[in-house]
A and B are shown apart, each in its own frame.
Chain A
C-alpha cells in the first residue's frame, strides 16, 4: 500500500503547530489590523500633532495596544474557538497534550504584543524624539504588562462557555481598555472623574508603570501597583489552570 511510506518531520510538534497558527492568524487578519496597523496609525497621528512632552508620556499607552488586542481579543477568541470546534478534545486522543496547541497560540499572541510594542517604541524614539529614561526597566515592565494582561485573557478563555460569549465579554473589556486606559487617548486630557474610574482597568495600571519607566519616576512609587498586578495575575493563571474547560 502506498501509505506505507513513512513521513517524518524532524521538527518538534510545537513548532509545526506554531507555524500553522501564525499562518491562520495572518490569514484571519484582525490581529494584524487591530493589533499592529491601528496602533501604528494612532502613533503617527499623536506624533504629528503633539508636543514632544505629550508624545513622551503618551507613547507607552499606544505601545500597549498590541497587548490589549492580543490579551483581550486574540487569546480568548482563539482559545474558545479551539474548544468550540472540539479541536482540544481531538488533541486529547493524540500523543501530545492539547496544552501544546494552547501554548503555541500563547506564544503567537505574545509575539503580536511584542512586535507592536517594538514598532511603536522605535517610532516614538527615532521618528518623534521621545526619550526613555531607563530602557532596561521599560523592557522588563513591558514584559510584565504582557504577563498580567494575558492572565486576564486566559482567565476569560478558561471559563467562557462559547465563542459568542467570548466575543461579548472581550468587546466589553477591550474597548473600554482601549479608550479609557490611556492606550489611545492620553489619560491626562480626560476629566478627573473619568481618570479615577479608569483606574479599575488593569491596562491603566500597566500603562502607568510603563510611563513611569519612560519618565524615570522613582520605582518605589510603583511598588503597590506591581504587587497588586502580580498577585492578581498569578491568581488568574492558577484559577485558569484549575477551571479550564477542555470542551
Chain B
C-alpha cells in the first residue's frame, strides 16, 4: 500500500430530475483507487440514477462527474471508447436477447473491448462452465445474475459498477462472489456497488454512502456509521437512517 491513492471517480453536486420527480438532489462523493464503495438506500432513493449518470446514460441537470479522468456526460465517441474500455458494468436486472446462448453473449461482449478477459475461465470462476451452450433464457435467476457479473468483468476493468450485486443468489454463491471481489480489490480494481444486503455491504465495503430521497445522508466506513448510532450492526444502523426519513416525511405532511 505504498502507492498514493487517487480518486478514480468524483461526483460533484449531482442533480437529476425526471419530469416532476427529483431523483437525485445534489450529491457529492469521491471513490479512491482500489476501494470497494457501497451505495445503500431504499428503492427509489436515487442509487441507480446516480450510477446511470456516472455512466453517461443519464444527462445530469446539474453538477459534474469525473470517471478515471474523463467526463462521461455527452462524451464524444473517442472519449467513450477510452473510458469504457476500462469500465465494467452490471446493470440491475440485466436482460438478454431472446434465444441467445451464454457463450454468444460472452463472445459479443468480449468483441466490444480492445482487451478482453478469457471469458471461459470467468465462466469457470463463477460456476457457469456447464452452461456455456445453454440458452440464457433457461438459466435460473442466480445464474443470470452471475452471468451479468461475468460480463462486467470481461473488459479487465479498472473500475466496476455492480448494481444490486447479489440479488437472487443463494448464500454459497454470494460468499464466492464476495471472495472474488476481494481478490479483484487486491489487484487494484475499484468497485462501486449497491446492495440491499447489509451483511454484504459491511463485509465488502471500505466506505459507504447512505442515500435517502435523492440526498446523501451519511458517508463513512461501516464501523464509523455503526458507532455513531450505537447499533450492533449495519442493518440496524441502516434502519435508523431510514426511520429518520419517515419521521421527517410525516412532519412535512403536517
Contact = CB atoms under 8 A, between A and B. Distances in A.
B118 A20 contact: no
Interface string B81-111: 1101101010100111111100010011111
A85 B112 CA distance: 19
A16 B111 contact: yes
B229 interface: no
B113 A95 contact: yes
B222 to A, nearest CB: 26
A245 to B, nearest CB: 13
B97, B116, B118, B124 pick with most chain A CB within 10 angstroms: B97
Contacts of A90: 89, 91, 94
Contact of A95 (B81, B94, B187): B81
A4 B153 CA distance: 11
A81 B111 CA distance: 21
Counting contact residues on chain B (CB < 8 A from A), the size range is 35 or more
B231 interface: no
Contact of B56 (A7, A13, A87, A92): A92
A85 B153 contact: no
A9 B107 contact: yes
A5 B117 contact: yes
Contact of B121 (A5, A23, A91, A95): A5
B20 interface: no
A86 B116 CA distance: 22
A7 B108 contact: no
Contact of B96 (A3, A17, A85): A85
Nearest to A100: B112
Interface residues of A, number: 33
A8 B99 CA distance: 25
Nearest to B184: A1
Contacts of B89: 90, 93
Contact of B57 (A13, A81, A92): A92
A219 B246 CA distance: 75
A3 B97 contact: no
B109 to A, nearest CB: 8
Given A3-B122, A85-B96, A95 B116 contact: no
Interface string A79-113: 00110011101111111110000000000000000
A58 B183 CA distance: 67
A87 B97 contact: yes
Nearest to A23: B104
Which of A9, A11, A82 has the largest count of B CB atoms less than 10 A from its CB? A9
Contacts of A95: 80-82, 84-85, 112-114
B77 interface: yes
A28 interface: yes
B117 A20 contact: no
B116 A3 contact: no
B55 A9 contact: no
Contacts of B153: 3
B37 interface: no
B183 A1 contact: yes
Contact of A94 (B82, B113, B118, B187): B113
B5 interface: no
17 contacts: A3-B117, A5-B121, A6-B117, A9-B107, A9-B111, A11-B111, A13-B108, A13-B111, A16-B111, A17-B108, A28-B98, A81-B97, A87-B97, A90-B94, A92-B56, A92-B57, A95-B84
Interface of B: 55-57, 77, 80-82, 84-85, 87, 89, 91, 94-100, 104, 107-122, 124-125, 153, 156, 183, 187
Interface of A: 1-9, 11-13, 16-17, 20, 23-24, 27-28, 81-82, 85-87, 89-97
Given A9-B111, A11-B111, 16 more contacts: A3-B117, A3-B125, A5-B121, A6-B115, A6-B118, A6-B156, A7-B118, A27-B99, A85-B95, A87-B95, A89-B91, A92-B56, A95-B80, A95-B112, A95-B114, A96-B81
